[in-house]
Structure 1
Amino acid sequence: MELVLTRPQLSQFVFLLLALGAIQSVDLGVAKTQGVEIAENGPRSTERNIYVSVAAGVSLLGSAWMFYRTTGGLFNPSVTLALRLIGQITTMQLVLYIIAQLVGSIAASAVILGLFPGPLFIRSKLGEGTSLAQGVFLEMFATSILILAILMLAAEKSRATPMAPIGISMTLFACHLFSISATGTSLNPARTFGPAVITGFRSDHWVYWVGPFAGSCLSVAFYAWLKQCVFIVLFSLILTKT
């Protein structure tokens, strides 16, 4: 039990220390030049959003390759749920992984708070003018695209599977560019939960659970449909040859 929990906690800690640490670093610079209020509440510059998007993709790339053989590179409860829905992990593993991911996120957020001066600037919040419904659907669709990439590149084993972190990280980067201005692009309940434990839970916190988990279900449904289509095509080819 200890090993089962410790490994995912460590991998989650490393991934979010890098990804969230980059956000804290850039917003600390904003606080020094434009004030704490701008750093905490925006508006966010295009350069800052691109920086955060790149940091998220690169952090996932390094962490996924580093921990793939030991933990499967699972850093996201939504991805973990998707793997349970397609039968690659058990319900007990689902629960243990999610606990480890949440604990790792809290630990990473606490360490970032201790390492950097000033308050913790990391928080998932809807952008100005973004409604709760828009936030849920943006998080849902962006998460579903990310998870579909994971299912197609990593869950479906092939000779290209060792290179899956590249494609998955590029997808995460693209998803960040797609929704960062509107939702901050969480796609990961653990990523939102850890900082919220320290800074406090906002009234829209639930958006970053409902959206990603709905995206997980959507991606699994589409993945199953794709596999069914492939099966039908292959079966038709076999029939025509016979």
Structure 2
Amino acid sequence: MMPTRRYAFGRVDEVTHPDSIRATLAEFISTLIFVFAGEGSLLALDKIYKDDGTSAGELVAIALAHAFSLFAAIASSMNVSGGHVNPAVTFGALLGGRISALRALYYWVAQLLGAVVASLLLRLCTNNMRPDAFHVSYGIAEFHGLVFEIVMTFGMMYTVYATAIDPKRGSLGIIAPLAIAFIVGANILVGGPFDGASMNPARAFGPALVGGRWHNHWIYWVGPFIGAGLAGLVYEYMVIPTETPLTHQPLAPEDY
């Protein structure tokens, strides 16, 4: 069962605790898996189709690649790290008191490194094709892209809370990876043509760094963090029943 809500920086011995190291490694590998397949699907379509723009069929393929890889990434790391695979998800869990600040910092570093390594591997495997980076489409203002990211990430984080964090989720936790993958894929079908539908700062950062494309990049940090933070606070304090505070305990590997 999910531990009682508690806010804590984290203990000193947590820095080198085996559980922390294993969870951090799991986040690194799972984020690498997700970004490699998600960004790789874009490069593959660029290789197949030389025309500019994205057709409806290509959009569906991109959404499926992200959904499939995210399902695998979350399912393979959920029992070790909670399967965040996203700095915004970690931030939402942090605001909800479901993870210590120290563990969140470890996760953020691992997620960003995983995205960068995945992008480097793609550049190597594709004979130096530059990874695409997220940016708002022509005719769409940055404000619109920001709102898109906030709303889509809110929906994703709300789903994370309902299926993976809520202490009363029961057997619903079994489908958490599938439910989260579905909402991400659905949001890509909605927001993809407008701003790319990132919902994940690591997913945006890796390709931007390796590809050297930073246009509108701030949107893909600010939007997801606001959306995930709002969803975490709303679900934690308005949906989950009030819990009796407990003193801080060592974070177990199954803690979200």
TM-score, normalised via structure 1 length: 0.86
Task: Give the stretch that moved more between structures: 167-176 or 217-226.
Answer: 217-226
Tell me how far apart the structure 2 counterparts of residues 125 and 166 of structure 1 sit (CA, whole Å): 27
Q: CA deviation at 1:3?
A: 3.9
Equivalent position of 1:210 in the other structure: 222
Partner letter of residue 189 of structure 1? P
Equivalent position of 1:64 in the other structure: 74
**79, 90, 97: which one pairs with 2:89?**
79
Alignment of 1:18-57 (within 5 A): 18-31=37-50, 34=51, 38=52, 43-57=53-67
Partner letter of residue 107 of structure 1? V
Tell me how far apart the structure 2 counterparts of residues 14 and 80 of structure 1 sit (CA, whole Å): 18
Tell me how far apart the structure 2 counterparts of residues 160 and 92 of structure 1 sit (CA, whole Å): 29
Task: Assess if the C-alpha contact under 8 Å between 2:115 and 2:207 holds in 1.
Answer: yes
SS at match of 2:97: coil
Alignment of 1:1-242 (within 5 A): 1=16, 2-31=21-50, 34=51, 38=52, 43-156=53-166, 157-227=169-239
Equivalent position of 2:253 in the other structure: none
> Structure 2: which 5+ runs fail to align?
1-15, 243-256
Partner letter of residue 205 of structure 1? H
Q: CA deviation at 1:224?
A: 3.4
Cα RMSD of the aligned pairs, angstroms, is 1.6
SS at match of 2:171: coil
> Structure 1: which 5+ runs fail to align?
232-242
1:129-161 residue CA offsets vs partner (Å, 9 max, x unmatched)? 110100100000000000100000110141221
1:143-193 residue CA offsets vs partner (Å, 9 max, x unmatched)? 000010000011014122122111111111111111000000110000010
Moved over 3 A (4+): 1-5
Tell which structure's C-alpha radius of gyration is larger.
1
Structure number with greater CO (CA < 8 Å, separation at least 6) is: 2
Task: Assess if the C-alpha contact under 8 Å between 1:9 and 1:104 holds in 2.
Answer: yes
Tell me how far apart the structure 2 counterparts of residues 27 and 69 of structure 1 sit (CA, whole Å): 36
How many residues in Structure 1 have an aligned counterpart in Structure 2? 221
Q: CA deviation at 1:217?
A: 1.9
Equivalent position of 1:240 in the other structure: none
Tell me how far apart the structure 2 counterparts of residues 4 and 161 of structure 1 sit (CA, whole Å): 19
Task: Assess if the C-alpha contact under 8 Å between 2:158 and 2:235 holds in 1.
Answer: yes
Task: Assess if the C-alpha contact under 8 Å between 2:73 and 2:85 holds in 1.
Answer: no
Tell me how far apart the structure 1 counterparts of residues 201 and 233 of structure 2 sit (CA, whole Å): 20
SS at match of 1:130: coil
Q: CA deviation at 1:128?
A: 1.1
Q: CA deviation at 1:225?
A: 5.0
Tell me how far apart the structure 2 counterparts of residues 224 and 83 of structure 1 sit (CA, whole Å): 9
Tell me how far apart the structure 1 counterparts of residues 41 and 60 of structure 2 sit (CA, whole Å): 12
Task: Assess if the C-alpha contact under 8 Å between 2:27 and 2:111 holds in 1.
Answer: yes
Tell me how far apart the structure 2 counterparts of residues 120 and 201 of structure 1 sit (CA, whole Å): 9
Cα distance change on mapping 1:51 and 1:96 into 2, 3 Å? same
Tell me how far apart the structure 2 counterparts of residues 221 and 92 of structure 1 sit (CA, whole Å): 20
